[in-house]
Amino acid sequence: MKTRTFLHLFAGAGVAALLGACSKAAPGPAFQAVDITGAEYAKDFHLPDAHGKTRSLSEFKGKVVAIFFGYTQCPDVCPTTLAEMAEIRNQLGADGDKLQTLFISVDPERDTPEILQAYMANFDASFIALRPENQEQLAAVAKDFKVYYKKVDGSAPGSYTMDHSAATYLYDPMGRLRLYAKYGGGSAPLLADIKLLMQQTA
């Protein structure tokens, strides 16, 4: 009985050791943004782009996708973020085509298709702007992506600003939400994370 018990304990310890060795042998990627792999939200959308074509996340499989919510009259966060994404795409060289940046407007009232087309062209021709058709559609996609936005009245009619979440969602080439990149970190950490995501194909 003692021998059998000892063998059982030895076998159990061996399995635990093997499991421990396996877990140590295959660590996850060392991302610099917040890793939200497995999140049960922001899985897809169906929104018209600046040309009126309905787009969805699923059509960009095979690419790393960066999604940012903002508006064209934003004085700082939006242009800074888009400029960083343009810089990153340039630094990727030939792999730049494997990155897709999507800009979702939280101000469809003023962000007309024409304005959005011109705004994207200021940063990179590959960037795609998405414009909710009405406030109901905007509210629905913002809720699904857990994005905050609020209209802040200005000193004159039509001079309002939009408070909004200032972070970028990053998806791997399989279309899975992986990272939440907070605003203000600079382009270098984002570039490193995007390179890691490009390797996530299974």
Alpha helices in the chain (DSSP H): 2-25, 77-91, 113-121, 135-144, 187-197
- Nearby residues of 19 by Cβ (< 8 Å), 6 or more positions away: none
Phi then psi dihedrals of residue 152, to 5 deg? -120, 115
Q: In what order do the strands lie in the sheet with 64-70?
A: 34-35, 177-182, 167-171, 64-70, 99-105, 128-130
Structure tokens at 20: 């421990």
CA angle 131/37/40 to nearest 5° reads 60
Any idea what DSSP says for residue 142?
A: H
**Binding-site residues from annotation:** 74, 78, 164
**Binding-site residues from annotation for Cu cation:** 74, 78, 164
Any idea what DSSP says for residue 49?
A: B
